[in-house]
Amino acid sequence: MTMDQRSLSTLLIIGGVLIVLIGLLIRVGAFSWFGRLPGDISRQGDHVSIFVPITSMIVISLLLTLGLYLLRRFF
C-alpha cells in the first residue's frame, strides 16, 4: 500500500465515522433547532407554503468551509 492509498483510506474511514455520528445525532434530535433559526423565512398561505432557510444555509456553508479547510491543512 502506497502512502497515497493510506491517506485516502484514512480519509474515507474518518468521513464514514463522521457520517455515522451525524446520523446518530440527527436520530436522537440534537439538530431539532436546525431550520428554525432566526433569519429562516417561513410563510404559510391558503394553498401555498414557502420556506427559505437563509440562516441555516449560511451555517452549513461555514461548517463545510471550515471542515474542508482543516482537511486540506492536515492531510
Which pTM does this prediction carry?
Answer: 0.66
Quote the pLDDT of residue 75.
66
Which bin fits 29, alpha (ψ -120 to 50), beta or left (φ > 0)?
Answer: left
* 63 alpha carbon, distance to own chain's centre: 7
Domains of the chain, by residue range, sit at 1-32, 37-75
| pLDDT one-digit tens code per residue, 4-62 | 777 888 888 988 999 999 999 999 998 888 888 999 999 999 999 999 999 999 999 99
